[in-house]
Structure 1
Amino acid sequence: MTMVVTQPCIGCKDKACLAVCPVECFHEDTTMVYIDPDECIDCGACVPECPTEAIFHEEDVPEQWQRFIELNASKVIECPPAV
């Protein structure tokens, strides 16, 4: 399993979640950050640090945000690592 960043992250520039990631699996574009499902170790450290409560375990992503599972996987291919 992996963690997934969802809609509440759109427009958030806080990025506190990035600092606690032990494997640096976040990528970003001008809209939001994304988690690389191949790099994420599912530790959950980012969840309590997310100021918008946008990060979920893949199996717990709310129904209305299910599309973000695939969006994270596809966006990390085209977006640079977050800094």
Structure 2
Amino acid sequence: MTFVVTEPCIKCKYTDCVEVCPVDCFYEGPNFLVINPDECIDCGLCAPECPVEAIMEEDEVAGDQQSFIQLNAELAQQWPNIAEKKPSPPDAKQWDSVTDKKHLLER
């Protein structure tokens, strides 16, 4: 199983997870991160680093978040790789607890 970035990451885009990834399998979009499932080695180091708990094992993704499994695979092929932690967006804290953000995802 691979790990998947889900909806809570949208507009928060904390990159703490990127810093601990031993295989650099994260990819960065305008306001979201994804994991390339072909590169993820399922080590699990990234999940506890996410302050908004947006990263989980594929088999633990809730029903309403299932579309993020395919979305991670698709967008990882389009977006650039990110291998170092970056500052969070200035308004990240205000988006931490917001739900239903999928419509805000910028591709």
Asked if TM exceeds 0.5, the reply is yes
Matched, 1:44 2:58: no
The one-letter code sitting in structure 1 at the alignment partner of 2:17 is C
**In the alignment, which residue of structure 2 is the partner of 1:57?**
57
Task: Give the equivalent residue in structure 2 for 1:72.
Answer: 72
Matches within 5 A, 1:30-41: 30-41=30-41
Give unmatched runs, 5+ long, in structure 2: 85-107
Percent identical among aligned pairs is: 53
Q: What CA RMSD, in Å, does the superposition of the two structures yield over aligned residues? A: 0.8
Equivalent residue number for residue 12 of structure 2: 12
Question: 2-side partners of 1:14 and 1:29: how far apart?
Answer: 12
Q: Secondary structure at the match of 2:77?
A: helix
Q: Give the whole-Å Cα distance in 1 for the aligned partners of 2:45 and 2:15.
A: 13
Show structure 1 runs of 5+ residues with no match. none
Report how far residue 31 of structure 1 moved.
1.9
Moved over 4 A (4+): none
Q: Which has the larger radius of gyration?
A: 2
